[in-house]
Amino acid sequence: MNRNEKEYWEKAAAFHGHVCGGLAIGFQASLYAIRLLGLTFSEDEQIVCIAENDACGVDAIQVILGCSIGKGNLLFHLAGKQAFSFYNRKTGNAVRLYLKTRAPEGLEKAEACRFYLDCPPEEMFAASKPKIALPERARIFRSVACSLCGEITAENKIRTEGTKPLCPDCYSSYDRFSV
């Protein structure tokens, strides 16, 4: 690990709270995406990541690439896969990295972490074109008060019952096939 990578690793571990194989997967995916797409830390929405899991590796991506839920450039397509799609809005380039090499069964936590940190990213990940098109930039929606609970809700999440705006918690969906 070079000096920059060591600094990234330490920041990711501090943010995540511990070191583990999952964090190492996200760390390696981030570094590989940097190399493949020429990425730097995303101050706004220049870089987008769609994670197909909500596991430990996502924390490394947040720290290293600056993708976050709050900025709208970290999105989840929960498929239960160790896969991450990275998009560079400036260049239009993108890559999906899928974990193809797994740590051998029976390794202790520290050994699994070391396995992933030592594995070359080209061997660790299958790189391909993303399956999901680059999402539009995050929108800011008008706020609307729910007519039942009074809580302010983003307009795009409001449902209407008659003429009353209702938040998702107060809205009773209608489905004749549910029992």
Indicate if 81 and 20 belong to the same structural domain.
yes
Q: Averaged over 139-166, what is the pLDDT?
A: 95
Q: Identify whether residues 41 and 66 lie together within a single domain.
A: yes
Sorting pLDDT into bands at 50, 70 and 90, what band is 64? very high
Residue 170 sits in the same domain as residue 91:
no
pLDDT band for position 179 (cuts 50, 70, 90) = low
Q: Is the pLDDT of residue 83 over 70?
A: yes
Which two three-digit tokens encode residue 69? 């839920």
- For the chain, report the end-to-end CA distance as a whole number of angstroms: 56
| Span 47-57, average pLDDT | 98
Domain co-membership, 17 together with 105: yes
- Domain presence at residue 134: no
Which is nearest to 27 in space by CA: 5, 4, 43, 48? Answer: 5
User: What pLDDT does residue 48 have?
Assistant: 97
Residue for token digits 């070359």? 120
- 141 CB neighbour count, 10 Å cutoff: 12
Q: Which domain holds residue 55?
A: 3-128
pTM of the model: 0.87
Do 144 and 123 lie in a common domain? no
CATH (domain of 82): 3.30.1330.130
